[in-house]
Structure formats: C-alpha cells, structure tokens
Structure 1
Amino acid sequence: MQVMSHGQFADPAVEARFQETARTLRLPFVRIYGVLFMLVALAYTIVNPLLVNPVDTAKLAVLFGAMIALAGAYIASTFWSGYIARPGLDFAALLGIVFLLGHINLILFDELIDMQEEMHAVGVMNRLGVSAFAAVVLAGRPRLFLLWLGLDLFVFLATVLPVQSHDAGMWYALLSYSSGAVIMLAINVAIDRSSCGAFALAEALEAERRKNEELVYNMLPPAAVERIRDGRMVADAYADASVIFIDMVGFTKLAKRVSPGHLVEVLNAFFNHADACAAKHGVEKVKTIGDAYLAIAGGNVTSGNSADSAIAFARDVLAGVAELQAVAGTDVGLRVGIHSGPVVGGVIGATRMAYDYWGETVNMAARLEGTAPVNGIAISESTWLRAKDRAAFGPPHNEMLKGMGETCVYHAGPAPERQTLPEISWVA
C-alpha cells in the first residue's frame, strides 16, 4: 500500500497520479451535471415570464443567460487537454455560478413576498446543489474546497446582508448555510478518503501485477507468453541456430572444499557474468544445469549470424575467468562447446514452465564442450563454416563423441587434454 501523510500520498509522483486518475474518472459526471444545470436554468427562464413581472423577468433573463453561458463554457473547458491538471477551473466556474444564483434568489424571493406567497416549502434555486457538486468535483483537494466554501459564504453574506432587515431571518439563514456546509465538507472528505483507499489498492495490485509479469517475461519469451495466455501451444522450429554449452572445470572438487554459501557465490558470479555477456551479444539464455550454462543464438532473440554471435559471446564469457578465480579463491576454468544447426523450441508442462530447446544440435554442443581445452572453445564444422572470424581456431581434427561417432572439431585456446568423456545424464 502507498504511504499517506496529512491526507495525501507521501510520494508526490503518486499523489499527482492519484489526482489525475480521480479527475479523469469524474469527468463524465462533471459534464452531465453541467448539462443538467443548464437545463434547470433554461426551465426557470421559460417559467419566469408566467409568474414574474416584466421588469424582474428581464433581470432574471440576463442572470440566467449569464449562468447558462458560464455553465456552457465550463463544460467546454472539460474537453481541453489541460483541464485535468487545473482544478482552479472548477473552483472559478462554480464560484461564478453560485454568485449568479445568489442574485437570482434575491429577485425570486422578493417576487414571492410581493405576491404574499407562503414560504413554508419554497427554496427557489437551492445553492446546496452547487455546493454538493463542488464537494464532489474538488474531492482530493480539501484546502481548495474549504477556500471555496469560505468565498461562497462571503458571496452569500454580501448578497443577503444589504437586503435582510430581520435578525431572526439572518440567524436562520446562517444556521441553514452552516449545516449545509458541514454536510458538504463531510461528503468531500468521504469521497477523498474512499478514492485514496481505492487508488492505493489499485496501485498495490498494479505493482504486484508488474512484478509477476516481469518474472514471467524473465522466464519465457514475450511471444510465448502471449500464446500461453491465448491457450495456444508453444512450439517453434529454428532452421539455423547456434547452441552454446559452457561448463565449469573442477566444480566437483571445489564443492567438496568450500562451504555451501561460498559455492553459491561462485556459481552466482559465473551465471551473472554469462547473463551480462548474453545481453551484450544478443544471445538467449536457455537455462542452467548444475554448474553448466546453456544458451542459444538465433532462437527467440534475433541474431544476424548465429555462429559469430555465439563465438563472440563465448570469448566474452572466457574473458571473465580471472575474476571468477578471484571469487572462488582457487583455480577454476570453463569449457565451451558450440554447434550450429536446426533446433526445436517450446514450452511443455503446466507447472514451473520454461521455454526450452531440443534436438541433435543441443546434444552435439554438450558433447563438444567435453572436448574443449580448459578456458577454450570447441566448435563443430557446421559452426566453423558459418563463422566469418576463423583465425583463432586451429586446424580441424576428429573426435570420437559419445552417441555421435567421429566428428570434425575445431579448437580455440590452450591445447586440449585427451580425457574420457563423462556421462551427461541430461542429454537425450
């Protein structure tokens, strides 16, 4: 929930957003009220010649004409783009209307007295209708509404005092005005508090929605999220992608020597560095598997030449090995395997969903990583053929890869050490 202070939100930006939202939502009612007020004034103008003497009818026609014109200008101002940010327009328009209303009431009351009409049920034009509207339209700005009430009282007294001859009538008028003003102030405060509470709740829900959406988009590509929302299956085929598999050398020994907290710190340093490099080179992080990092160029993230992007990404990650060793406090290294070809991507399952990639290209990249020199890169022939920058890679040689047979491999980095390839249980 947003914190409030002295009836306002503590954050000025939130307070400004609240005022703008509240006034925008009240806008249709402002226009409807203005039109209704013009219709009421027009009805009085039509009835007056039937009940009022010609001289007063002429005076009333001028006052009602001014009131209709003012109300019309007020309604027109609500269509101006700057209206929302200027509550002073409501203040001035309603004050002008209530000023005209006071003079109209004086003339109508005098007419009724001259006609010796009983006054028990006569309210002529009730100014509380304008006060009620001011309480609504100026909700959220209590000081402005209090100022409006004060000026309304001043206009009322300035209009009535010169013609009021009985103290009793004046006292009753003041009591009537005061009681009405207190009720209008209560309405103003009630609308303000309820609006603030609803807005704060909406802000909290929106912030939570944004956080959840950010988490979803962090796990899934935007296009996949839209399809999942529509209830569609997420399955894609990419004809030319480059899969990058990076593994940490010596992780098993390191896990036996350091505390769990330190181990997580080392992994965090590795993965955060790889994430930054992926964002820099337009490479998509797929997932982490233990101490391994799987990424792809040419998948959901657009890449010009997937092989070049994958190699540039791998070199950037390897450039951070020294910092990784500093965090680990011992010698650790990385191996990178890259293979280019077709892959299938998509989302499966209903819980803990993630966008994953499958196919021979993914398996080949994992096998190639095992042949790479420590802090070096192993790429397949298909990647080498797609790459423009081949100078760093030595001559091709054949490697026997488990499940793949004899494969042409190119290395960059220190000379590879022959070793028995470990079982990789996660590869199909």
Structure 2
Amino acid sequence: MAERAGVQQVQQARAPRPERAMHPITLRFADPVLERHHHDSRLRYRFVAGRMSSLAGGLAWLAFIVLGIVVGREPPPLVRSTTIIACIGMLGLFGMHYVLKPGRWVEIAGVVTLLVNFCLLLFLTAVTSPADAVQFAPVTVFTMTAVMSFALVGVTFWEGARIAAVAIAFYYLAVTVLQPQPLVAILYQSAWMLTTTVFAALGFYLLDRTQRIAWLRQLDLIGAQEQIRSLLHNVLPPAIAERKLAGESPIADTYAQASLLFADVVGFTPLSSRFSSKEVVTMLNELYERFDAIVARHGLEKIKTIGDCYMVAGGLPRPDPDHLTRLTSAAMEMQAEAAKVRTPDGQSLALRIGMHAGPVTAGVIGQAKFAFDVWGDTVNTASRMESVGAANSITVSDTVREALGDAYAFSGPDLIEVKGKGETRVWTLEAVRGRR
C-alpha cells in the first residue's frame, strides 16, 4: 500500500497543470499571468539580444555603404541618405542599451526595430531602378528579413512568426507592385523563400519550446528549494537554517549567557493510564499550542518537547540582553495558560517549571532529522530545578534569583541536593513586584 501511495504521489507530481499547458502552435501558456511572468523573466536576455542585434544591424547597413564605394556603384542620393540614416539609427539604438536599464521597453523596441528596418528595405526596393535592382533583390532582402525575424532581438516564436509573415507580405508587395516580376520567377523565388523561412521557424519553434519547458522546470526547482527552506525554518531557527542550507556541519556555538526553562505536567503518568492515547495527545497539543504562542510572543526559542516536558531557551541563537526577563514572563504566562487546559474528565492541568541561566553550547549535529539543541551544565541544572519544584510553581536557581533582583517576589531559599554539585539553593518565583 505504501509503495502504491508513493507511485500515486509521483504521478500527481508529473501530471500536467492546466495553466501550464502550451498552445501547440503559438507556444503561449494557457495562463496569461504565467505568460507575462515568462516574458518578464526573459527581459534581460532580450536586452542583451537587442543590443547585439542593433550593433549587427548598424554594421550591416554600414557594410552596404562601404560595398557601394568599393565596387564603384554610386547609389542615388535618396538611397544613400536612407542607408546612412538607417545605419546611424541602429548604432544609436545600440548606444541606448548602455544608457537605459532592462525593462519591458526592450520588447517593444525589438519588434519596432525589425518592422522599421523592413519598411526601410521595402522603401529602398521601391526607389531602386531596375538597373540597380541587384543591390536590393526582393527575394534576397525579404528572405533575409524573414529569417531575421526569428534570429534577432530575442523574440518568442509567436512574435517571430508574425513578424516573418510581415516580411513575406512585403516580398509579394515588392515583386507584384514595386518591381513586378514574371509569375514563374515569383513561384520559384517563393518556394526558396518559404522553404528557408519554414526551416528557420521550425528550428526556432523547437528552441522556444525547449526554453519554456526549461523555465517551468526552473520554477519547479525554485519552488522545491523554497519548500525545503520553509520546512527547515520550521524545525530550526532561521539563522541556523540558513547556515545548514549553506552546507555548514556541524553547527555548535558557545553562548556566554543564556537561560533555560523546563515545563512538565504534574501527574502525567497517571493521566496517561486513565485516558486513551488520542485523548492525551489532544490535551498535550492544546497545551503546546498555547505555549508556542507565548514563546513566539516573547521572542524565545522552543527547543523541543519530550512527552509532557516542554523546553524553552532565551538568548539564543541570537544573543539578547533581556533573555532572562523574557523567559521569566513567559514562565508566568505558561502557568496561567496551563490552568485553562482541561483533562478529558474536566480537571485543570498542574504545571511544574524550572529555570536556570548560564553558559551553554547550542547547534545542530548529525546528518538526519535535524534538530536545534542545547548542551551544557546549565541545561542539566535547569532540568533539576523543574524536577524538585512543587505543582503550580516556578523554581529557579540562585543565579536566576540574583539576576532578576528585586523586580520579582520570591520565597525561599530552600536547599536541595543536586547530583555533582551537592546542596544547592533554590527559590520559588511568586510574582512580579507590585502585582501580588
């Protein structure tokens, strides 16, 4: 069953999405927003293509000027002026690409540039005498322009196809009206022109389709990366998650001062035996959701839960001079919230909390099931504070008592035996001064 479920998940992941469907002819995406996003993603590419094309166009016009001088064929003044203007215009457009930044203007500029050049070529064809027609032979000129429609300025296939159609229309206008030619010549020239254009269009069709598919795959990859990042941020502090994503391992940072809190449900073992597992888990989930909100509100770090034990840290992974005050306020709110949670038989929960502060080491170790954890004697002492406390109490160490000073009211001290430390003084936090 598990294997079948896995296969279904793969099939769902590979299933085509309607909005991503490409038109079989135009290659445009079904979703206009996705199509616009695709165009925006290509603006930089079109900017570079437009810059290169304008330079190539300017040099091409310049080449015709130089060629006329070399072969000794002086063109008519109108032809010469038009050619010079076209050359200057293309080189000017090339310079504009170094002044303006990439934007949607490059889409319009590229198409307009092609159409203007087509019109100039059509004009030159019209004003050239039959004796000089060798310079601007319609079939040569407009076959070149039809192919250029796909090859230059970074247009999409559908844009290129429509521009090529304009070039072909200009050819028929030239050979039927401007420079009439025999029908047989037109037919043969059309065959060569259309064959060349179709091959160019087919190649560009496949290229545009491949680019669009690759772009969709890139979107999927980015989405997967963001999902991984989001999931990792849910289990690790953001700063630690970014370091883990960068490949750092292990991560173990030392903090000179941090504060730890352990909260434990009093009498949890008897509760577990009296009620079903589902009822117990539901109760703990409600309790921990309340605790999570408190921890987030005070800018603390939830470390982990072990059964009915909830562990919180202050002052890490980002150092905070007020970490102990924040943790103390959170502890008092947690006690109040725990009293609002009821057992399946309607009894309120009793909570036991222990706190300690001191140096710790925190980070992520291992390569599986990443978890941000804290190590050190401070952790052990905080856990001990919780275990020796009474129900509905907040037990703190001497270190915490001294750090909080007179801002809070305490009862004690009491002496307890701590393994490895001997007798240790502990205090019970009663309330904030002035709120008793």
| TM-score calculated relative to the size of structure 1 | 0.81
How far off is 1:94 after superposition? Answer: 0.7
- Cα distance per residue 1:62-87 (max 9 Å; x no partner): 22223223322433444423534552
Helix, strand or coil at the partner of 1:320 = helix
Q: Mean Cα displacement is larger for which, 245-254 or 203-212?
A: 245-254
Which residue of 2 is the match for residue 23 of structure 1? 43
Is 1:194 the counterpart of 2:204? The answer is no
Find the aligned partners of 1:296 and 1:375 in 2 and give their Cα distance: 20
Which residue of 2 is the match for residue 250 of structure 1? 267
Is 1:35 the counterpart of 2:55? The answer is yes
Which residue of 2 is the match for residue 164 of structure 1? 180
Find the aligned partners of 2:309 and 2:56 in 1 and give their Cα distance: 71
User: Relative to 1, partners in 2 of residues 1:399 and 1:323: Cα closer, same or farther, differing over 3 Å?
Assistant: same
- Cα distance per residue 1:278-298 (max 9 Å; x no partner): 221121122222221111111
Q: Which amino acid aligns with 1:130?
A: M
- Residue among 276, 291, 300 paired with 2:308: 291
Which residue of 2 is the match for residue 90 of structure 1? 110
Q: Which amino acid aligns with 2:332?
A: R
Is 1:132 the counterpart of 2:150? The answer is yes
Find the aligned partners of 1:268 and 1:328 in 2 and give their Cα distance: 16
Kept in 2: contact 1:384–1:390 (CA 8 A): no
Find the aligned partners of 2:85 and 2:426 in 1 and give their Cα distance: 91
Helix, strand or coil at the partner of 1:267 = helix
Kept in 2: contact 1:282–1:303 (CA 8 A): no
> What are the ranges of 5 or more consecutive residues in structure 1 without an aligned counterpart?
415-428
- Cα distance per residue 1:144-200 (max 9 Å; x no partner): 445434443444444442331533334445545544554454344333321221011
- Cα distance per residue 1:329-367 (max 9 Å; x no partner): 543232211111122223333333433222221111111
Find the aligned partners of 1:257 and 1:16 in 2 and give their Cα distance: 61
Find the aligned partners of 1:328 and 1:71 in 2 and give their Cα distance: 84
RMSD: 3.4
Q: Mean Cα displacement is larger for which, 180-189 or 380-389?
A: 180-189
Which residue of 2 is the match for residue 348 of structure 1? 365
Find the aligned partners of 2:112 and 2:133 in 1 and give their Cα distance: 32
> What are the ranges of 5 or more consecutive residues in structure 2 without an aligned counterpart?
1-12, 432-436
Helix, strand or coil at the partner of 1:31 = helix
Listed as ranges, the matches of 1:214-363 within 5 Å are 214-224=230-240, 229=246, 231=248, 233-325=250-342, 330-363=347-380
Helix, strand or coil at the partner of 2:305 = strand
- Residue among 51, 62, 79 paired with 1:60: 79
User: Relative to 1, partners in 2 of residues 1:162 and 1:101: Cα closer, same or farther, differing over 3 Å?
Assistant: closer
| TM-score calculated relative to the size of structure 2 | 0.80
User: Relative to 1, partners in 2 of residues 1:326 and 1:105: Cα closer, same or farther, differing over 3 Å?
Assistant: farther
Which residue of 2 is the match for residue 417 of structure 1? none
- Cα distance per residue 1:250-305 (max 9 Å; x no partner): 32233233333333333333333322222211211222222211111112133222
- Counting matched residue pairs gives 406
Find the aligned partners of 1:48 and 1:400 in 2 and give their Cα distance: 105
Q: Which amino acid aligns with 1:97?
A: N
- Cα distance per residue 1:81-135 (max 9 Å; x no partner): 35345522211111001121233456678345689xxx9xx9367323422335x
User: Relative to 1, partners in 2 of residues 1:249 and 1:313: Cα closer, same or farther, differing over 3 Å?
Assistant: same
Helix, strand or coil at the partner of 2:388 = coil
